[in-house]
């Protein structure tokens, strides 16, 4: 955080000392004196400024390692979000650090756009994007998830969005070591001072306040920025951050291996835990846990109490014959309970945290994350972005990788580095000095 915040803590300590000091020379009061009230420093409000000519910005920018490719005047209402018109602003498109990879021979750059509102509030918002990045999402500054009720751009923030250093939303950029590091943390470190310089150029003053926020991988970017770039931002809004994404992916891959082993139709993971069976378990969880939070409303809100109240073994019928959707086989109970207790390697080493039981089993979203994502998302991310060395992209097949990979070996590879890939996947994806895991 910035110095004023530190000064605040110092002020609290000084006030406390001052209180003790003054009482040393007084008679003990009849009534204990109230504790001193700390006066946090009062910052002056952020102040906007007038945006200069938009389309001339491209020619005026002389920021190192930065090329502005276009500056476009965007009229009020030309862009809408959820039917709501976006205010008039200037869109600036550019790239930083254009280069050719010595490893895969491909061209890389950190692509970005900034949207600079006419009615600027004096503040900057870094829009940290989700997934594996790779596309410059429109820089409207969505805030926090839960639906586009409003956005930072409409509130008057200057907003930046980027592709985090590679030009396609696929994991193959991970063959290039530098692109891994841009995605992990370095793109934020390069874009932030550039954005502040651009704001200075466009408005004639730097932002009074700077914020960064996003969800999922965007939440991860935010957490990492809080650790690595604490001096650059006044506030961090980390929404459901992917704190240890490589390990979450390995856990999901482990789950897919379990569901594949349980599948009644070989290769079709959904038949390892069918819709009817998932609804059965969901209803069993609700039966034990819904009312624990004081409201029988179909939602399990007292998640902690639910873990003690629900038992997959006890509360779901065990099949005595063929699986028919009214029971789980013994093998299903063993396999699914093991996944929920926390993914482990073949030799039993912990990979990732446990998952709490709740009523989400029956949803399509659950099925998508457990049966589809391991093959479509987690396999490629683990194989190319995080593993050292990476897999060979010319022969890679996500399904084969998931079903055949050794989890202990993959866990070692996301923690490994070598002469080409000098930082491990876990190293560049998580805040530095984070506790090691498995501990």
Instruction: Give residues in contact with Ca ion (CB under 5 A).
Output: 290, 293, 295, 297, 299
Contacts of 392 (CB under 8 A, 6+ apart): none
User: Would you say 133 or 290 has its CB closer to Ca ion?
Assistant: 290
User: Would you say 104 or 293 has its CB closer to Ca ion?
Assistant: 293
Tokens representing 35? 């504790």
* 3-class DSSP assignment, residue 95: strand
DSSP structure string for 149-176: S-BTTTTT-EEEEE-TT-SSSSGGGGGS
User: Would you say 296 or 341 has its CB closer to Ca ion?
Assistant: 296
- Backbone φ and ψ for 238, nearest 5 degrees, come out as -95, 105
- Backbone φ and ψ for 429, nearest 5 degrees, come out as -90, -20
What is the smallest separation between the CB atom of 306 and Ca ion, expressed in angstroms? 10
What is the smallest separation between the CB atom of 292 and Ca ion, expressed in angstroms? 7
DSSP structure string for 299-357: ----HHHHHHH--HHHHSPBPSSS--SSSB-HHHHHHHHHHHT--B-TT--B-S-----
Q: Is 336 buried (19+), middle (13-18) or exposed (0-12) by CB count in 10 A?
A: buried
What is the smallest separation between the CB atom of 299 and Ca ion, expressed in angstroms? 5
**Closest residue by Cα to residue 352 from 251, 242, 216, 245:** 251
**Closest residue by Cα to residue 428 from 229, 248, 228:** 228
User: Would you say 290 or 391 has its CB closer to Ca ion?
Assistant: 290
**Closest residue by Cα to residue 402 from 314, 272, 224, 227:** 272
What is the smallest separation between the CB atom of 284 and Ca ion, expressed in angstroms? 15
Q: Cβ(285)–Cβ(310) under 8 Å? A: yes
What is the smallest separation between the CB atom of 302 and Ca ion, expressed in angstroms? 8
User: Would you say 14 or 299 has its CB closer to Ca ion?
Assistant: 299
Rounded-to-integer distance, Cα 243 and Cα 104, Å: 28
Q: Is 87 buried (19+), middle (13-18) or exposed (0-12) by CB count in 10 A?
A: middle
What is the smallest separation between the CB atom of 298 and Ca ion, expressed in angstroms? 7
User: Would you say 306 or 407 has its CB closer to Ca ion?
Assistant: 306
Tokens representing 337? 């309970």
User: Would you say 155 or 279 has its CB closer to Ca ion?
Assistant: 279
User: Would you say 297 or 324 has its CB closer to Ca ion?
Assistant: 297
User: Would you say 252 or 282 has its CB closer to Ca ion?
Assistant: 282
What is the smallest separation between the CB atom of 309 and Ca ion, expressed in angstroms? 12
CA distances from 76 to 13, 113, 329, 336, 438 (A): 49, 18, 60, 53, 51
What is the smallest separation between the CB atom of 339 and Ca ion, expressed in angstroms? 24
Rounded-to-integer distance, Cα 212 and Cα 227, Å: 12
Q: Cβ(328)–Cβ(388) under 8 Å? A: no
What is the smallest separation between the CB atom of 294 and Ca ion, expressed in angstroms? 7
- Backbone φ and ψ for 85, nearest 5 degrees, come out as -70, 140
What is the smallest separation between the CB atom of 301 and Ca ion, expressed in angstroms? 5
User: Would you say 47 or 299 has its CB closer to Ca ion?
Assistant: 299
């Amino acid at each position: 955080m910035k110095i004023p915040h530190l000064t605040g803590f110092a002020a609290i300590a000084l006030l406390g000392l001052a209180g003790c000091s003054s009482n040393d020379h007084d008679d003990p009061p009849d009534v204990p004196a109230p504790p001193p009230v700390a006066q946090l420093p009062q910052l002056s409000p952020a102040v906007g400024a007038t945006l200069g000519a938009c389309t001339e910005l491209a020619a005026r920018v002389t920021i190192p390692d930065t090329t502005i490719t276009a500056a476009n005047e965007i009229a009020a209402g030309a862009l809408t979000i959820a039917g709501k018109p976006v205010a008039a602003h200037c869109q600036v498109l550019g790239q930083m650090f254009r280069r050719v990879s010595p490893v895969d021979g491909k061209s890389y750059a950190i692509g970005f756009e900034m949207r600079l509102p006419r009615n600027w509030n004096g503040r900057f918002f870094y829009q940290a994007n989700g997934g594996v990045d790779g596309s410059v999402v429109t820089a409207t500054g969505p805030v926090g998830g839960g639906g586009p009720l409003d956005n930072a751009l409409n509130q008057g923030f200057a907003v930046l969005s980027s592709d985090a250093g590679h030009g396609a939303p696929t994991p193959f950029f991970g063959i290039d070591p530098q692109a891994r590091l841009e995605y992990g943390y370095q793109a934020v470190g390069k874009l932030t001072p550039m954005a502040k310089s651009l704001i200075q150029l466009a408005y004639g003053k730097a932002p009074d306040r700077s914020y960064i926020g996003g969800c999922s991988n965007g939440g991860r970017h935010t957490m990492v920025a809080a650790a690595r770039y604490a001096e650059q931002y006044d506030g961090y809004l980390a929404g459901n951050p992917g704190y240890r994404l490589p390990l979450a992916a390995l856990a999901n891959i482990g789950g897919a291996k379990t569901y594949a082993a349980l599948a009644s139709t070989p290769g079709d993971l959904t038949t390892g835990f069918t819709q009817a069976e998932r609804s059965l378990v969901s209803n069993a969880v609700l039966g034990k846990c819904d009312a624990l939070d004081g409201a029988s409303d179909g939602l399990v809100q007292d998640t902690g109490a639910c873990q003690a109240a629900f038992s997959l073994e006890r509360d779901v019928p065990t099949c005595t014959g063929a699986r028919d959707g009214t029971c789980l086989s013994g093998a299903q109970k063993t396999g699914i309970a093991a996944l929920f207790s926390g993914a482990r390697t073949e030799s039993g080493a912990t990979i990732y945290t446990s998952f709490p039981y709740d009523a989400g089993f029956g949803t399509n979203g659950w099925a998508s994350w457990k049966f589809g994502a391991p093959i479509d998302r987690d396999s490629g991310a683990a194989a190319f972005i995080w593993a050292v060395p990476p897999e060979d992209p010319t022969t890679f097949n996500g399904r084969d990788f998931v079903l055949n990979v050794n989890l202990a070996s993959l866990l070692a590879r996301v923690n490994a580095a070598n002469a080409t890939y000098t930082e491990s996947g876990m190293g560049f994806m998580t805040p530095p000095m984070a506790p090691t895991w498995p501990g």
